[in-house]
Amino acid sequence: MANFFPRWANWIPLKLLLIVMVLGAVVTGGIWYYFTPKYTNVGYMPAQPAPFSHAIHAEQLGMDCRYCHSHVEVAGHSNVPSTQTCMSCHSQIKAQSPKLAAVRASWETGTPVQWVRIHKAPDYVYFNHAVHVNRGISCHSCHGQINEMPVVYQAQPLSMAWCLECHREPEKFLRPPSEIYNLNWRPASAQEQLAMGAQYKKEWNVNPPVTCGGCHR
């Protein structure tokens, strides 16, 4: 009787094994690459009802973040400004601009401008702005170079691993209290940052929570 299976059939199990292994690697890699806030959240840049630009207001005009986000250092929640904040200037500056139609409509009717929210911690996480910005953490560490963004996008994943990266080693991020709202400030060098950070950490007794109850309360 002739060979029932041709000779190459001997390789089938090996080839199948190789295929399964490659597919396994691709699926694992795909999940590692895609199933994380680094992919799902970073770069989220929704269109806003009015094309508000931080590059114009914060950088070109030199406005302080707190002119608009006025409760960031006293409240857990960093507020998005009221319509009156915009109208202080825009009742005269570019008062007829079509780009500001949504703001004017809100001013006339009293209904808020529906800004699309970008950064969002899940509802089971406790986050507080005031404790961070009053303890030497700048907006820059968590929101990126906002003052150069014509349109705001999410620059950091805001995942749990990301929070913990800083909570374990806050000295990498602590900066002088006068530079919290200056997003263009940079430490002279990495070593200097570590030395300065370690000093602040000791002086101010900075002790961010790394136990579950700190953030899941």
Partner 1 sequence: MLRYFFIGLGLFLVGLFAVAGFRGQKSGKPPIEIFPDMDHQPKVKAQVPSSFFSDNRGNRLPVAGTVPIGYEAPRSKDNPFPDEGKYNGVRFTAGTDYLNTGRFGDQWGTGIPLPVTAELMQRGKERYQIFCAVCHGASGGGNGVAGQYGLVAIASYHQDRLREMADGEIYNTIVHGKNTMLGYGDRIPLNDRWAIVAYIRALQLAQTATINDVPAGERAKLEALPQP
The token pair at 70 is: 């006025």
The token pair at 151 is: 């349109």
Q: Which does 5 bind (CB under 5 to 8 A by kind): ligand HEC, partner 1, none?
A: none
Nearest one of 209, 206, 194, 196 to 160, comparing CA atoms: 209
Give the residue with the Cβ less far from ligand HEC, 28 or 128: 128
Sign of CA dihedral 46, 50, 53, 58: negative
Give the residue with the Cβ less far from partner 1, 92 or 205: 92
- Are the C-beta atoms of 58 and 147 separated by less than 8 Å? yes
Least distance from partner 1 to the Cβ atom of residue 109, Å: 11
Residue 175, judged by CB atoms within 10 A of its CB (0-12, 13-18, 19+), counts as buried
Q: Which of residues 55-74 bind ligand HEC (CB under 6 A)?
A: 56-58, 61, 63, 65, 67-69, 72
- Are the C-beta atoms of 104 and 174 separated by less than 8 Å? no
The token pair at 177 is: 């209290």
Q: Which does 123 bind (CB under 5 to 8 A by kind): ligand HEC, partner 1, none?
A: partner 1
Q: Which of residues 33-92 bind partner 1 (CB under 8 A)?
A: 33-35, 37-47, 61-64, 66-67, 70-71, 75-77, 79-80, 82, 84-85, 87-89, 91-92
Residues lying near partner 1 in the complex (CB under 8 A) are found at 15, 18-19, 22-23, 26, 30, 33-35, 37-47, 61-64, 66-67, 70-71, 75-77, 79-80, 82, 84-85, 87-89, 91-94, 111-112, 117, 122-124, 153
